[in-house]
Structure 1
Amino acid sequence: MNTPFQRPYGTPLPLEDDEFILRDLVRMVRQQLGWVIGITAVVAAVATLYAYSLPAIYAADALLQVQAKNADSNPLSRASQMMGGTSQLGTETEIEIIRSRSVLEPVVNAFRLNVSVSPVVMPYLGNLARRFAKPGEPAPAWFGMSRYAWGGEQIDLELLGVPAALEGVPLTLRALGNDSFALYDPEGMKLLSGQVGEIVDDGPLQIRIGKLVARPGTEFTVTRSNQLAAIGGLAKSLLVLEQGKQTGIVQISMESSDRVRAMQIANAVVQSYVRQNLERHQEETARTLDFLNAEVPRVRADLEKAEDALAALQQRQGAVKPTSEAQSYLAGGLELDRQIAQLNLQRTQLLQRFMPGHPQVQTIDTQLGQLRALQQKLESRFHDMPASEKAGVRMERDVKIAQEIYISLQNKTQELMINRAGMVGNVHVLDEALVPSSPVKPKRALIIAAGLILGLVLAVLTVFLRRAVFGRMHEMEEIERRLALPMFGEIPFSPAQSWLEDYSRLEATAPPELPLPVELAGAEHVPVTPERAEEWLPAATRPVLAESRPHDEAIEALCGICTQFQFTLEQMGHRVVAMVGATSGVGKSFVTSNLGTLLAKSNRRVLLIDGDLRRQRLSGYFNRAAGMGLSEMLGGRIDANQAVVPTGVSNLWIVPAGNFGATPAELLMNTRFRQALDTYARTYDLVIIDTPPVLDHNDAMAVSALAAATVMVLRTGAHTEEQIVDAVKRLKRAGGNVVGGILNTVVGDAVPQSDSLSDTLARAAGQPA
């Protein structure tokens, strides 16, 4: 049969079992709620400051409608439809044309977008200050930083010409007062100076400022960009999208911190594109007209030549009416020749744009081949016709074909001339851009919300990091689950105990005169230092809470621990118990004194031993801070029974620490201590030994090895996981039997309020509070 695995006490959870659960997160957040709130508030404040420091960005929108090209006005489009093609909107093509240099370059030149000028501002603070300034009235400099612009400055840079080496290089323009300025390179070298309204020409460097409103000393950053870079920058700031799919509706959006300028640039791009679109269509029509005007004289000459040849033939042969067979040949030949001539015209137009291998050209070539084959069949049918009649029919056919082609070219020329005069292109402006009323960027609410979320995430991560680095243990369940250390219970923080100690210190007599040499058997003279004088205060400095406030919440909790403590010890048969702490300041002596008092009140003979020979905290609770005790017994000056003194509490005795010794650890490892413990175990129902901190001294390990059981006193938030594990390991290596722990000074959500210190002092003096 498989038995469940039981982890030894003080063993941390293995990694595969250390699963994160929601309860752990809630516990950690609750324990470090101040950190969570503080970090979240700081990050949210930074996000708010960042959101309001960003300049407002406005977007001006214009709408265009792109229509399919009119096939009747374009011979090429009509030829495509005749060959089975369909008319497409081509919106994607038009969008790319809008972004092209031919459309954007006129806008760049018109608005001088290749020249940028901006005031030098203090990061974050400068943008905030500019929000409260009035345009045209420069705000005073903050903190005496006059080189920065703090709002209200205005500048109009009308001209800036630089050599190629300075293109894209930020230059510094400094206002000097009295409408004068100076221009500096990035190294601070002065390039030129001048007055507002005048053109300053210094060879390849030219500048003209139309308006300058700024405090003397205010600096601006001016840059002349490369023309290609300026066009690319405009293209990036433009958003061109088709509304829907195959709708032909195109939206052009321009973003800028100046909403009026955004509207003007958006409309300028629209007008530039419409003008370019119209010019493209007019150019196409002009090329067709040039081709037709060049063909008309040649076709007219061919017509005149055919007419003269027919007239000469008729004059020689006389007026002879063609036979029915000749008429049939003439009609069929005319129709074939007309179609062939029309296809040849279209092929000539296509070859002006495409290569002979283009699919449209090859389609026309295929149709021409089919028509010529039909023409050859027709010629073969009328091969036996008399030569004279056949010659007349051919000449008459040539005249009619030439007449049709000439009239068709004349009509087409007139039609294209009329179309060019009234051409509007296939692009129409539906909505012009207007001045936007509200900014589209930044999304301040979104930035602040993101800051709150980021702050909360960072706060939680900080909680995890603090736990990983410091790892303070705060709750009994956490200690039991992570370290498998059984806990007898937890003791809430007692304000009454703290205030009683404060009151007792006020009423305590002065410590003995220092230095106080102490003579111990086999030990050196050890003076009591001023830093340790407090430990020599008489009994009133540390009253036992179980006696003065028996109904305090901490004593109520100790009563429950006392019951479980007795049950555990009775089951194991232990008589000698060592109370240990991982570090100092955990309240171990407080727990020992009050626990011993409660056990004594339950009709048990209890002996307390102050094994902390270095600080003797436990002795101070029972007015035994000075005198003979454990040190003298271990030094052989008194026996075990002589070291025991009453505490004033029924069934409770104490072995005080006695005077200080030079080597406490060696004294506790003395065989006399083991013999004394055996004697006490036979005399008393329970022997409780108070010890120094485990991680600070080796005394506790020596005591734990002699005790039958060891109980570890912990303080909430005072120990890391590593400290507790290290303390348990040390005790186990020394032979100690750690049976459990007690968590002290637990701060709950509702701690009963005790009397104030003034109330306590007044009551002690016999006065009303």
Structure 2
Amino acid sequence: MKNTSKSATEDDNDIDLLALFLVLLRGWKIILFFALLGLLLGVLYTRYVNPTFRSDALIQIEEGSKGVAALGENISNLVGSDASTAQTEAELIRSRMVLEPVVDALNLRVRLSDPTIGFIEKIKSNRTYTQINTAEEVTLGTSDGQVVIKQFDVSKDYLNKGFSLVKSENGFTLTNGFEDFKGQFNKPYQFNGTNGQIRITVAQLPDNNHPVNIYKQSLHNATNAINGALSVVEKGKGTGIIQLTMTGPNQQQTTSILSQVVQSYFGQNQARGSEETTQTLEFMETQIPVLREKLEKSEAKFNEFREQSGTIDVTQESQILLAENARIDAQLSELKLKKADLTTYYTEEHPLVIQINDQIEVLNNRKQQIKNTIQELPEIQREFLQLSEDVGIDREIYLTLLKNYQQLQIAKAGQLGYARIIDMPISTFRAIAPKKLQIWLLSMFLGTLLGAVLALIKSLLRNVVKDPERLEEKTGVPVVATIPRSPLLARLDKNKASRRLLAYTDRDSLSYEAIKSLRTSIMFGMPEEGKSGSRAKVVLITGESPGVGKSFVSSNLSEVFAQLSKKVLVIDADMRLGELHKVFNMTQDNGLADYFQKENHNLQDVVHPTTMENIDFIPRGEKPQNPSSLLSSEKFSSLMKELSTHYDYIVIDSPPVLAASDAMILAQYADKVLMVTRYDDSIEGQLVYATKQMQKANVNIDGIVLNDVRQGLMSKYSYHYSYAYGHNK
């Protein structure tokens, strides 16, 4: 049981997917329309937008600064490395510190535009002019000539406010809609407006009164515009190589701006690279004269002491103490120099400064111990040691500082900073966008997707008749016949196919065989006698709405009954819009309506023989005002009784159920009531409602005839007539 249930579920899923696929196939016109519409919009978009160009540059960030290294390995280690990471440098490149000089150098705050270029013009031209900024001028091409602006500066209140420039007879006119300023070409002007001053120099404007829009951007907006088009990323992880990429609508402009950004950053980097060395040199320049003066004083004092006391032998122990004390003083001097250098960058609380203070304290303690030992020596010897030590220390400090000063000057002369330009931007003049083929395919795909969604929505909103089994389930009425469409009949007269008989146009078709099958079904289901014991069997043909093919079924069913040598009468009971007379190549005159309205008309006047053997026909006649009342009259009842004695079969073609109540009235005379509906055209809900209306009137519908069934992949339920027999092809 489980396997059977699972298999049934899989079959249902397959059917649902197939049904979904067939719904899309049936809506191929909608899908194709929106696919082509999407493609058209994609083509228009690619013609509307300007091409986008790109320029690239590469910068290498090297390790560390070389400035403090000239002071010696120890100081460099204490100060630490100030090497900037690539990510930090990337943010610096995007900063206003770097971008503001670019904006000023290329006059990027001046913006020009052509107000005459609209949506249609952009599509027609496929590419519009874009402005080009240089250090000397800002230019923009138009259809009537070029715009050249040498200078344009405004007060703060005029920033980001639009102005219009137009060429005049003697020069130009600048206006903002409220104020007009006039001037001549190639002359600088300063206008005083209500919101401040305007300085402008115009070199050239288009002819034919072609207007040009101009405004001055704020510095913030200008740098943001550059940032919006600029990408700065590190190539790879830890490579130290930064790639700068800029995009824009003009290759020349894009390359120029990116080159200026690279130069601005490189200049800033050079200045930052030598800043540390410059500060160190300035500090040394202030200390060298002080140390030289101190050395001269200590030497003079020592020489004076020697002259007064003569030569003194210093013992070996004293020499050792003197040498150690000299080394301590040298170390103290070096540490003090380091501390002085560090305090130019850090506070007293910095770990490096604290570390140096601790070292100084240790050396001072040792120095105090040596001093105590020396104090035990004879007074003259002690003074000699003290003066000799002072001279040695001062000389060592002075010479060390002078040596470092010379080395740092050499280092500064060769200092290059830690950024290196690898590749400068170049112009390729190859547009990177729009990618036309991709946009066309994407827009067509989106259009197709939209069309598919609309086709599905249409299918959900308009649930047409397709599945015979579903019809039987919804209405409770069996589908007694499915009549395929006759391709030949449809080709002969596409708009009037129902006005031709299959016996003369396509007698070997599946449609004709289906009509014969319907005849067989009716014959086997008929009572032996008609209603009230009459001779004729009455078949009522109706439908839920107009255009379902009632007349086609009625006329062809009558013809196949006549083949059995049965006397058949066809009545066009649709006295409002019936057109059954056209099938038999007759007029509507002297018909059923005339039988009721004209007293001199009898049965012989309204029953007309046709060109086909055993078939008579009653047309609808002249349109009456109250058809339903006429059909409910005793006169029509008498007419049916009389006709039943002369014919074997009477086929009545009635108006649609949802259009008139005539079918319910005529059903009381019928032995068989058939409801005709059109495949893939009739609305399922209307058919269900029509059958319920008939059932409420106590009319039993004997069967549904599914007309105009199309075969093929697009018709899921065409398997009802998938095979032909005999001469059909």
> What TM-score, normalized by structure 2, do the two folds share?
0.79
CA deviations on 1:196-230 (whole Å, 9 max, x unpaired) are: 22223323122211233x23121111111122322
Distance between the aligned counterparts of 1:234 and 1:502, measured in 2? 66
Which residue in the other structure is 1:206 paired with? 199
Q: Which amino acid aligns with 1:195?
A: Q
Which residue in the other structure is 1:693 paired with? 656
CA deviations on 1:663-694 (whole Å, 9 max, x unpaired) are: 33344456887899899999988765422112
1:294-373 alignment to 2 at 5 Å? 294-308=286-300, 310-311=302-303, 319-357=311-349, 361-373=350-362
State which of 226, 230, 233 in structure 2 corresponds to 1:238: 230
1:601 aligns with 2:563: yes
Counterpart secondary structure, 1:201: strand
Following superposition, the deviation at residue 157 of structure 1 comes to 0.6
Which residue in the other structure is 1:157 paired with? 149
CA deviations on 1:299-350 (whole Å, 9 max, x unpaired) are: 3334344445555565666544444444444444444444443343333333
Distance between the aligned counterparts of 2:466 and 2:457, measured in 1? 18
1:228 aligns with 2:190: no
Q: Which amino acid aligns with 1:274?
A: F
Which residue in the other structure is 2:41 paired with? 46
1:93 aligns with 2:88: yes
Identity, in percent, stands at 25
Distance between the aligned counterparts of 2:352 and 2:572, measured in 1? 114
State which of 691, 696, 701 in structure 2 corresponds to 1:733: 696
Q: Which amino acid aligns with 2:175?
A: Y
1:135 and 1:152 in contact (8 A); partners too? no
Q: For structure 1, list consecutive stretches of 5 or more residues without a partner in the other structure.
A: 2-16, 137-147, 505-540, 751-769
Which residue in the other structure is 1:614 paired with? 576
Q: Which amino acid aligns with 2:186?
A: G
Q: Which amino acid aligns with 2:95?
A: S
2:174 and 2:182 in contact (8 A); partners too? yes
Distance between the aligned counterparts of 1:76 and 1:604, measured in 2? 128
2:229 and 2:246 in contact (8 A); partners too? yes
2:325 and 2:370 in contact (8 A); partners too? no
**Alpha carbons of 1:217 and 1:658: their partners in 2 closer, same or farther (altered >3 Å)?**
closer
Which residue in the other structure is 2:719 paired with? none
Which residue in the other structure is 1:525 paired with? none
1:40 and 1:456 in contact (8 A); partners too? yes
Which residue in the other structure is 2:502 paired with? 545
**Alpha carbons of 1:323 and 1:710: their partners in 2 closer, same or farther (altered >3 Å)?**
farther
Which residue in the other structure is 1:197 paired with? 186
CA deviations on 1:451-478 (whole Å, 9 max, x unpaired) are: 2112212222332344455x26374579
Which residue in the other structure is 1:376 paired with? 365
1:412 aligns with 2:404: yes
Q: Which amino acid aligns with 1:368?
A: N
Which residue in the other structure is 2:172 paired with? 181
**Alpha carbons of 1:125 and 1:660: their partners in 2 closer, same or farther (altered >3 Å)?**
closer
Counterpart secondary structure, 2:222: helix
Which residue in the other structure is 1:579 paired with? 541
Distance between the aligned counterparts of 1:91 and 1:594, measured in 2? 88
Q: Which amino acid aligns with 2:209?
A: G
1:613 and 1:631 in contact (8 A); partners too? no
1:73 and 1:419 in contact (8 A); partners too? no
1:611 and 1:690 in contact (8 A); partners too? yes
Q: Which amino acid aligns with 2:454?
A: T
Distance between the aligned counterparts of 1:747 and 1:177, measured in 2? 76
Which residue in the other structure is 1:765 paired with? none
Q: CA RMSD in A?
A: 4.6
Distance between the aligned counterparts of 1:223 and 1:612, measured in 2? 77
CA deviations on 1:229-284 (whole Å, 9 max, x unpaired) are: 22322232222222222212122233333322322222222112111211222232
Q: Which amino acid aligns with 1:451?
A: S
Following superposition, the deviation at residue 120 of structure 1 comes to 2.2
Distance between the aligned counterparts of 1:245 and 1:584, measured in 2? 75
Counterpart secondary structure, 2:168: strand
CA deviations on 1:148-172 (whole Å, 9 max, x unpaired) are: 9863631111111223222111211
Out of 606-615 and 418-427, give the one that drifted further.
Answer: 606-615
Which residue in the other structure is 1:113 paired with? 108
Distance between the aligned counterparts of 1:731 and 1:248, measured in 2? 87
**Alpha carbons of 1:122 and 1:695: their partners in 2 closer, same or farther (altered >3 Å)?**
farther
Counterpart secondary structure, 1:429: strand
Counterpart secondary structure, 1:692: coil
1:76 and 1:350 in contact (8 A); partners too? no
**Alpha carbons of 1:686 and 1:101: their partners in 2 closer, same or farther (altered >3 Å)?**
same
Following superposition, the deviation at residue 182 of structure 1 comes to 1.5
**Alpha carbons of 1:493 and 1:446: their partners in 2 closer, same or farther (altered >3 Å)?**
same
Which residue in the other structure is 2:722 paired with? none
Out of 270-279 and 334-343, give the one that drifted further.
Answer: 334-343
Q: Which amino acid aligns with 1:106?
A: P
Counterpart secondary structure, 1:442: coil
1:596 and 1:652 in contact (8 A); partners too? yes
Out of 712-721 and 227-236, give the one that drifted further.
Answer: 712-721
Distance between the aligned counterparts of 2:49 and 2:569, measured in 1? 73
Distance between the aligned counterparts of 2:472 and 2:84, measured in 1? 71
Counterpart secondary structure, 2:160: coil
Counterpart secondary structure, 1:68: coil
1:583 and 1:693 in contact (8 A); partners too? yes
Which residue in the other structure is 2:267 paired with? 275
1:704 and 1:731 in contact (8 A); partners too? no
State which of 270, 279, 285 in structure 2 corresponds to 1:287: 279
CA deviations on 1:599-635 (whole Å, 9 max, x unpaired) are: 4535778665544243444466456945465996999
1:135 and 1:154 in contact (8 A); partners too? no
Out of 298-307 and 670-679, give the one that drifted further.
Answer: 670-679
**Alpha carbons of 1:104 and 1:649: their partners in 2 closer, same or farther (altered >3 Å)?**
same
> What TM-score, normalized by structure 1, do the two folds share?
0.75
**Alpha carbons of 1:591 and 1:370: their partners in 2 closer, same or farther (altered >3 Å)?**
same
Q: Which amino acid aligns with 2:354?
A: D
CA deviations on 1:489-522 (whole Å, 9 max, x unpaired) are: 1431555478579999xxxxxxxxxxxxxxxxxx
Distance between the aligned counterparts of 2:86 and 2:595, measured in 1? 104
Distance between the aligned counterparts of 1:270 and 1:392, measured in 2? 64
Counterpart secondary structure, 1:417: helix
1:181 and 1:194 in contact (8 A); partners too? yes
**Alpha carbons of 1:587 and 1:367: their partners in 2 closer, same or farther (altered >3 Å)?**
same
Q: Which amino acid aligns with 2:203?
A: G
Out of 707-716 and 675-684, give the one that drifted further.
Answer: 675-684
Distance between the aligned counterparts of 2:412 and 2:242, measured in 1? 25
Which residue in the other structure is 2:720 paired with? none
Which residue in the other structure is 1:69 paired with? 64
Q: Which amino acid aligns with 1:734?
A: A
Q: Which amino acid aligns with 1:369?
A: D
1:708 and 1:737 in contact (8 A); partners too? no
Out of 297-306 and 234-243, give the one that drifted further.
Answer: 297-306
CA deviations on 1:39-90 (whole Å, 9 max, x unpaired) are: 3223212221220222222222222111112346457996786259567442
Q: Which amino acid aligns with 1:51?
A: T
1:2-81 alignment to 2 at 5 Å? 21-71=16-66, 73=68
Q: For structure 2, list consecutive stretches of 5 or more residues without a partner in the other structure.
A: 2-11, 132-139, 532-536, 714-729
Q: Which amino acid aligns with 2:180?
A: L
Distance between the aligned counterparts of 1:683 and 1:343, measured in 2? 139
2:596 and 2:630 in contact (8 A); partners too? no
Q: Which amino acid aligns with 1:163?
A: S
State which of 430, 443, 447 in structure 1 corresponds to 2:439: 447
2:42 and 2:439 in contact (8 A); partners too? yes
**Alpha carbons of 1:253 and 1:79: their partners in 2 closer, same or farther (altered >3 Å)?**
farther
State which of 665, 674, 679 in structure 1 corresponds to 2:628: 665
